[in-house]
Chain A
Amino acid sequence: MLSAPAILAVSPVLVAGIAAGTAIAIVAIWLMAVYNGLVSRRVRVQNGFSQIDVQLRRRHDLVPNLVATVKGYMQHERSTLEAVTLARTAAITARGRVTAAPGDAMATLALANAEGALQAMLGQLMILMERYPDLKANNNALQLQEELVSTENRIAFARQAYNDAVMTYNTKLAVFPDVVVARLFSFASATLFEAEESARALPSVEFNGTGPNSATMPGM
């Protein structure tokens, strides 16, 4: 075997060249690994959002049925019912904007706010429904209510998964050395799916298990 100085004696330029080549290869491969890692996190964020989206659509589909069913019983709550319908329309519009521009921070925030408002209105409606004993005997209404509760739970759960994914991804974007690669390939940070306090504060309804129907609306 040859000792290192013997090799160096051949041609220092050559050794330097090959060392540089190897270094470039290592850097290129490292770059690729970090890039792939970022892409994979970003995909997880996108998957997380489509989870929420499926359930939001479900919520939007439920609302007209629910309103139609309770309308006959709740003559005095016309304004609430109208507010629910309006909140739904606003949420559908916001959802359309996000579908048109996926990942857009402003659109996502607007959707989160619109959905927060709709959720709050629906919560209020559910509480009002408790005041109508006739409604409790209506099977259709009970079924829709159950369906809505389950959808709300699913949305909350999907939102949690999405927000977890966003946090991991955004953290990766911010830490060294990933931040270098992220800047290089302009990876944009993702937006949490969370309504602003003002959007959610519409009706003052307590959802955390102390409401009158806490048994059927857990975890909302």
Chain B
Amino acid sequence: MDFFESQERAKRNTSWLVALFFIGVIATVVSVHVLLSLTISKGKLFDPSMFALSVGSVLTVVGVGTAAKFIQMSHGGSAVAQSMGGRQVDPGSSDPDERRILNVVEEMAIASGVRVPPVYIMEDETINAFAAGNSEKDSVIGVTRGCIHALSRDELQGVMAHEFSHIFHRDTRLNMRLVAWLGGIFAISMVGRILIRSQMYSRSPRGKNNGAAIGLGIGVALFLIGIVGYFFGRIIQSAVSRQREFLADASAVQYTRNPEGIAGALEKIARGAGSQLSAPAAAEFSHFFFANGIASFFSTHPPIEERIARIRGTHMMAAGVTALPTIQQAPSADVHQVAAFHDVSATAIRGARRGMGSFNPTDLNIARDVLAGLPATVVDAARNPFSARAVICSLLLSKNGHQRDLQIATIASTDTALASATDVLARSANISPPQRLPVIELCAATLTLLSPAQYEQFRSVLTRLISTDSQVDRLEWTVRVILRSAIEGKGSEPKPGARATAADAALVVSVLAWSGATNETLATRAWRAARGSDASLPTAQIAADLCTLDALDESLRNMCGAPPDSKRKLVDACVACVAADGQTTVDEAELLRAICAAIGAPMPLIAAVA
């Protein structure tokens, strides 16, 4: 399924969820009304004032409960991970277990073009994992200690591929909404429980009197209603969750071409390692997990045996149709080409477009080789917040000696240590163009560890560094966009009230058309190719002097909130534009990836493999 189709479907599922939620609220209102009528109005069912009261009280409680959860969820995946007792794994960790999970996650993120998600670890010996986040940009991945301990690398990769599927298919977003909406319904059950308890305490000293009896009546009523709401909520939770799990399992097999990885992980859970978490919040978030996080009648996951059977079944079908290289067998000759290539073929770009929202074993191998091919000093530096800043600065240094000295001096005026670290790094390590984007991604993941004050300072250094040559080039823009979305978590969120117009799409494509062209004829040719893909674009490209990177920024922000279908059109037009002349520079390909990342459409690695 196309990436954008699955986005559409996730949106539809969310609408269904909202509809179910309203049915749940109505059911609760009716039960409140019936219970109140029976207990207090002595069986008089159609008392309008009683009805108004039921509606009012239920709506207030549900409204406040939902709002509170929405606020909590708006903090993104990290809020969920923290309420589950997760601790963010330090990107520079040297613990072998932690290193392994970080490597697996980094490879997958770089292969698929999503931001490297922060990894949270839960100190629990059972095997489980989850992905959470409102969008790809604030997603996090959580794993239990047992998961990394007990699973082999292949199995871990299978589990992580499953979690990445949840991110690609926007299941994480759906899950966050689910928690928020259900928070409202669960709030009623909470009020019921609190009231019953308070009645227990307040009744004993005063003995039996009329007020207490009525109070207890209300308590019992709310408790029963709470149960109605609770059951209804849990039924929604498990119904939505189960079908998504099968999809994620199937996707994990598709991405890794290795059903034994994920099947092996599930078998280990079934054979006794278990998946039940001790964290108190586990029930609320149970639908986030890789396997059942709680033992309950309302399982959010299908039975493990069934999942294993389906995974192995998919494999057999897949094996009959295509003989795809497995992780171990992928030809590594392709891979070495990547580090050395200069131009990318149009086929490769179109291939990457088709693979959007996924990755495959070849991409994973390339990503692994790109990471392994990075100079050790750069990798080491990228994994520490202090030196990751120096890596970013060194990428932005000019090749012109005088300009470069000026830039170093600019950094030194705020932070001498950073300036000398940048200087040393720039002299000792050479980062080739295709390595730049992965390096920026690695740094971005590490830089989330900066304190707000440190980030502010770094941002002002960057701004000044970028403005020393009084023009913003493509690389500088890419750095700015990626860092902003990774660290501030909003970056290219749509501005409130802003709406994407046809002019926004035209501007984005025009920037690409000009960036790959040396003269107007070539730009026009690229533009025509883009129009061939999206006929709604205007007849001529926007003039080069209007295609500034600031304007691009603005337009991408607007596009960010556009419906998936408009995004699909834009991405296809961009791909057609870049592929038009058959020869694409690494710069162009990276700009394309950055543009896609900015609108939340992860473009997998564009390999120069013919």
Contacts and interface: CB of A to CB of B under 8 A. Distances in A.
> Do A and B make up one complex?
yes
Interface of A: 1-2, 6-7, 9-11, 13-15, 17-18, 21-22, 24-26, 28-30, 32-33, 36, 39-40, 43, 46-48, 50-51, 54-55, 57, 146, 150, 153-154, 156-158, 160-161, 164-165, 209, 215-216, 218-219
B522 to A, nearest CB: 46
Nearest to B47: A10
Best-buried of B191, B222, B415 by chain A (most CB within 10 Å): B191
B519 to A, nearest CB: 47
B191 A24 contact: yes
Contacts of A18: 53, 57, 218
Given A2-B48, A2-B49, A40 B187 contact: no
Interface string B376-391: 0000000011110000
Nearest to B195: A21
B191 A218 contact: no
Contacts of B47: 10
B18 interface: no
Contacts of B61: 21-22, 25
19 contacts: A2-B49, A7-B52, A10-B53, A14-B53, A18-B57, A24-B191, A24-B195, A28-B190, A29-B64, A36-B82, A40-B78, A40-B79, A51-B449, A57-B94, A146-B424, A157-B417, A160-B454, A164-B451, A219-B415
Given A40-B82, A146-B424, A29 B417 contact: no
Interface in B55-79: 57, 60-61, 64-65, 68, 71-72, 75, 78-79
Given A11-B40, A33-B72, A47 B451 contact: no
Nearest to B381: A150
A52 B218 CA distance: 54
Nearest to A30: B68
B323 interface: no
A13 B214 contact: yes
Contacts of B57: 18, 21-22
B212 to A, nearest CB: 10
Interface string B432-476: 000000000000000001111110000000000000000000000
Main secondary structure of the interface of B (DSSP, over half): helix
Nearest to B68: A29
Contacts of A160: 451, 453-454
A24 B194 contact: yes
Contacts of B420: 215-216, 218
Given A14-B218, A21-B222, A150 B451 contact: no
B52 A157 contact: no
A1 B55 CA distance: 12
Contacts of A9: 49
Given A36-B79, A150-B421, 6 more contacts: A2-B48, A18-B57, A36-B82, A47-B90, A48-B451, A51-B449
B191 A153 contact: no
B50 interface: yes
B278 interface: no
A117 B92 CA distance: 25
A215 B198 CA distance: 69
A158 B211 contact: no
Best-buried of A13, A21, A154 by chain B (most CB within 10 Å): A21
Contact of A7 (B53, B78, B79, B421): B53
Contacts of B41: 10
B49 A7 contact: yes
B39 to A, nearest CB: 10
B81 to A, nearest CB: 9
Contacts of A40: 75, 78-79, 82
Contacts, number: 142
B87 A43 contact: yes
Nearest to B86: A43
Interface in B86-129: 87-88, 90, 92-94
Contacts of A36: 72, 79, 82-83
A55 B385 CA distance: 11
Contacts of B49: 2, 6-7, 9-10
Contacts of A48: 449, 451
Given A14-B40, A25-B64, A26-B64, A51 B385 contact: yes
Contacts of B415: 219
Nearest to B383: A54
Contacts of A21: 57, 61, 191, 195, 218, 222
A207 to B, nearest CB: 11
A152 to B, nearest CB: 9
B215 interface: yes
B252 interface: no
Contacts of A6: 49
A97 B198 CA distance: 44
A14 B213 CA distance: 11
Interface string B192-207: 0011001000000000
B13 interface: no
Contacts of A29: 64-65, 68, 187
A7 B53 CA distance: 7
B416 interface: yes
Contacts of B450: 161
B419 interface: yes
Contact of B449 (A1, A10, A146, A161): A161
B609 to A, nearest CB: 37
B59 to A, nearest CB: 10
A183 to B, nearest CB: 21
Contact of A39 (B36, B60, B83): B83
Nearest to B194: A24
A193 to B, nearest CB: 13
B214 A14 contact: yes
A50 B386 contact: no
Given A14-B214, A40-B82, A54-B92, A164 B454 contact: yes
A20 to B, nearest CB: 8
Interface string B414-431: 011101110010000000
A13 B52 contact: no
B198 to A, nearest CB: 8
Nearest to A35: B83
A219 B454 contact: no
Best-buried of B41, B87, B416 by chain A (most CB within 10 Å): B416
A82 to B, nearest CB: 28
Contacts of A15: 53
A154 B187 contact: no
B538 to A, nearest CB: 47
Contacts of B53: 7, 10, 14-15, 18
A51 B90 contact: yes
Given A36-B83, A54-B93, A2 B417 contact: no
Contact of B417 (A1, A28, A219): A219
Given A25-B190, A33-B72, A146-B424, A158 B386 contact: yes
A17 B214 contact: yes
A43 B90 CA distance: 13
Best-buried of B65, B415, B420 by chain A (most CB within 10 Å): B420
Interface in B119-162: none
B54 to A, nearest CB: 9
Nearest to B66: A29
Contacts of B72: 33, 36
Contact of A33 (B71, B214, B384, B451): B71
